[in-house]
Amino acid sequence: MKFGALIIGDEILSGRREDKHMSRVIAALGARGLALSWARYIGDEPERIVAELQAALAAGDTVFSFGGIGATPDDHTRQCAARALGRPLALHPEAAALITQRATEMAAEKGLPAPDMSHPDQQRRLQMGVFPDTAQLIPNPYNRIPGFSVGHLHFMPGFPVMAHPMLDWVLDTQYADPALRGTQAVRATRVRGTNESQLIPAFEHVEAAFAGVKIFSLPSVDHPVFGPHIEIGVKGGDEAQVAQAFALLLEQASQVGASIAQ
Nearest Cα to 64, choosing from 189, 176, 159, 149?
149
Residue 148 and residue 61 share a domain: yes
Strand (E) or helix (H) holding 79: helix 77-85
Give the HSE-up count for residue 41: Cα atoms under 13 Å, Cβ half-sphere. Answer: 12
**128/77 Cα distance (integer angstroms):** 11
**3/182 Cα distance (integer angstroms):** 12
> What is the predicted pLDDT for the residue at 139?
97
Q: Pick the last residue of a domain from 155, 179, 203.
A: 179
Reported as a single tens digit per residue, the pLDDT across 55-111 is: 999 999 999 999 999 999 999 999 999 999 999 999 999 999 999 999 999 999 999
Low-confidence stretches of the chain (pLDDT < 50) are none
**167/147 Cα distance (integer angstroms):** 10
Residue 25 and residue 121 share a domain: yes
**160/145 Cα distance (integer angstroms):** 14
Residue 214 and residue 171 share a domain: no
- State the DSSP code for 55: H
> What is the predicted pLDDT for the residue at 183?
62
For 22, the domain range is: 3-179
Reported as a single tens digit per residue, the pLDDT across 116-133 is: 999 999 999 999 999 999
> What is the predicted pLDDT for the residue at 7?
97
CB under 8 Å to 161, separation ≥6 — which residues?
142
CATH number at residue 189: 3.30.70.1130
Residue 114 and residue 52 share a domain: yes
Please state the separation of Cα 254 from the chain's center in Å. 38
Enter the pTM of the model.
Answer: 0.81
Apex 37 CA angle, 147 and 165, nearest 5: 30
Structural contact between residues 65 and 31, judged by C-beta atoms closer than 8 angstroms: no
Q: Pick the last residue of a domain from 179, 214, 249.
A: 179
Residue 54 and residue 134 share a domain: yes
Residue 166 and residue 124 share a domain: yes
The count of structural domains within the chain is 2
Residue 151 and residue 136 share a domain: yes
Q: Pick the last residue of a domain from 179, 198, 215.
A: 179
- Which contacts (CB < 8 Å, 24+ apart) does range 18-26 have? 20/160, 21/66, 21/160, 21/163, 21/164, 24/160, 24/164, 24/167, 25/64, 25/167
Residue 192 and residue 162 share a domain: no
Residue 217 and residue 175 share a domain: no
- Which contacts (CB < 8 Å, 24+ apart) does range 250-253 have? 250/189, 252/201, 252/202, 252/205, 252/206, 253/191, 253/194, 253/199, 253/202
Coil/strand/helix, residue 86: coil
**2/51 Cα distance (integer angstroms):** 18
Structural contact between residues 167 and 18, judged by C-beta atoms closer than 8 angstroms: no
Structural contact between residues 41 and 9, judged by C-beta atoms closer than 8 angstroms: no
Structural contact between residues 145 and 128, judged by C-beta atoms closer than 8 angstroms: yes
Residue 100 and residue 8 share a domain: yes
CATH number at residue 145: 3.40.980.10
Residue 65 and residue 127 share a domain: yes
Q: Residue 124 burial by CB count (10 A; 0-12/13-18/19+): exposed, middle or buried?
A: exposed
Residue 222 and residue 171 share a domain: no
